[in-house]
Structure 1
Amino acid sequence: MSEHNVFDVTIIGGGPVGLFAAFYAGMRGLTAKIIDSLPELGGQLIAVYPEKYIYDVAGFPKILAKDYVKGAVEQGLSTGAVPCLGETAQTLTWLPEAGYYALTTDKATHYTRTVIICAGVGSFEPKRLPAPTVAAFEGRGVHYLVRDLESFRDKDVVVVGGGDSAVDWALAITPLARSLTLVHRSKFRAHERSVAALHASSATLYYPGYEVVEVRGNAHLEEVHVHHSPSGETRVIPAQELVVAIGFVADLGPLKSWGLTIERNSIVVDPQTMATNLPGVFAAGDVVTYPGKFKLIATGAAEAITAVNHAVVYLNPAARLDAGHSTNVMEKRERAAQAAEA
Structure 2
Amino acid sequence: MSNLYDVTIIGAGPVGLFTTFYSGLRSLKTKIIDAEPAVGGKIRYFYPEKIIRDIGGIPEIEGQELVKNLHAQANTFQPIIVCDERIIALHKQTDGTFELVAENGNKHRSKTIIIAAGSGTYEVNRLEVSGSEAYTNNLFYDIKDLASFRNKTVIVSGGGNAAIDWAQSLEPIAKEVHLVYRGENFKGHEERVKEMHASSIFVHVNHEITALQGGTNNLQSCIIHCNKNGSTTKIATDAIVVNHGIKVDLGSMLDWGFDISDYGILVNQKMETSVPGIYACGDVCTYPRKMRIIAAGLHEGPIALNSAKNYLDPEADHVAMISTHHENFN
- Contact in 1 for aligned 2:207/2:224 (Cα 8 Å): yes
Aligned partner of 2:306 among 306, 309, 319: 309
Q: CA deviation at 1:4?
A: 3.8
Gaps of 5+ in 1: 336-342
2:213 aligned with 1:200: no
Give me the whole-angstrom Cα distance separating, in 2, the residues matched to 1:136 and 1:303. 44
Matched, 1:318 2:319: no
Give, as a single letter, the amino acid of the residue that structure 1 aligns with 2:287.
Y
Aligned length: 327
Q: Alpha-carbon deviations, 1:224-253, whole Å to 9, x = none?
A: 100112222111100110011111111101
Cα deviation, residue 99, structure 1? 3.0
1:9/1:33 contact within 8 Å kept: yes
Partner of 2:283: 286
Q: Secondary structure at the match of 1:119?
A: coil
The residue that corresponds to 1:8 in the other structure is: 6
Name the counterpart of 1:134: 132
| 1:233 counterpart residue number | 231
Question: 2:101 aligned with 1:100, yes or no?
Answer: no
- 1:6, 1:111 within 8 Å by CA — same for their partners in 2? yes
Instruction: Render the CA deviation track for 1:189-248: whole Å, top value 9, x for unaligned.
Output: 1011111111121111111x1111011111311111001122221111001100111111
Structure-1 residue corresponding to 2:166: 169
Contact 1:133 1:216 in 2 (8 A): no
In structure 1, the partner of 2:150 is: 153
Alignment-mate amino acid for residue 32 of structure 2: I
Matched, 1:48 2:46: yes
- The aligned residue for residue 77 of structure 1 is 75
Identity %: 39
Q: Is the 8 A contact 2:265 2:280 kept in 1?
A: yes
Report the equivalent of 1:214. Answer: 211
- Corresponding residue SS for 1:78: helix
- Distance in 2 (alpha carbons) for counterparts of 1:4 and 1:218: 55
Q: Output the CA distance in 2 between the equivalents of 1:118 and 1:60.
A: 22
On the 8 A contact 1:31/1:80 being kept in 2, the answer is: no
Shift of 1:81: 1.3
Letter in 2 for 1:146: I
Supply the distance in 1 between the matched residues of 2:294 and 2:190 (Cα, whole angstroms).
Answer: 18
Please tell me the residue identity of whatever aligns with 1:18. G
Alpha-carbon distance in 2 for matches of 1:24, 1:235: 53
- Letter paired with 1:79: F
For residue 266 of structure 1, what is the aligned residue in structure 2? Answer: 264
After TM superposition, the structure 1 stretch with the greater mean CA deviation from structure 2, 10-19 or 119-128, is 119-128
Matched, 1:183 2:180: yes
CA RMSD of aligned residues (A): 1.3
**Runs of 4+ off more than 6 Å:** none
Length-normalised TM-score, structure 2: 0.96
1:14-33 → structure 2 map (5 Å cutoff): 14-33=12-31
Identify the range of structure 1 (235-244 vs 253-262) with the bigger mean alpha-carbon deviation. 253-262
1-side partners of 2:182 and 2:2: how far apart?
55
| TM-score (normalizing by structure 1) | 0.93
- Measured in 1, the distance between the counterparts of 2:52 and 2:275 equals 33
1:57 — aligned with what?
55
| 1:291 aligned counterpart, secondary structure | coil
- Assess if the C-alpha contact under 8 Å between 2:2 and 2:107 holds in 1: no
1:22 counterpart letter in structure 2: T
Residue 117 (structure 2) aligns with: 119
Is residue 251–residue 265 contact of structure 1 (8 Å, CA) maintained in 2?
no
Structure 2 residue aligned with 1:254: 252
What letter matches 2:297 in structure 1?
A: G
Q: Aligned-pair distance for 1:265?
A: 4.9
- Counterpart residue identity of residue 6, structure 2: D
**How far did 1:334 drift?**
6.5
Letter in 2 for 1:130: E
Following the alignment from structure 1 to structure 2, what is the Cα–Cα distance between the partners of residues 201 and 124?
32
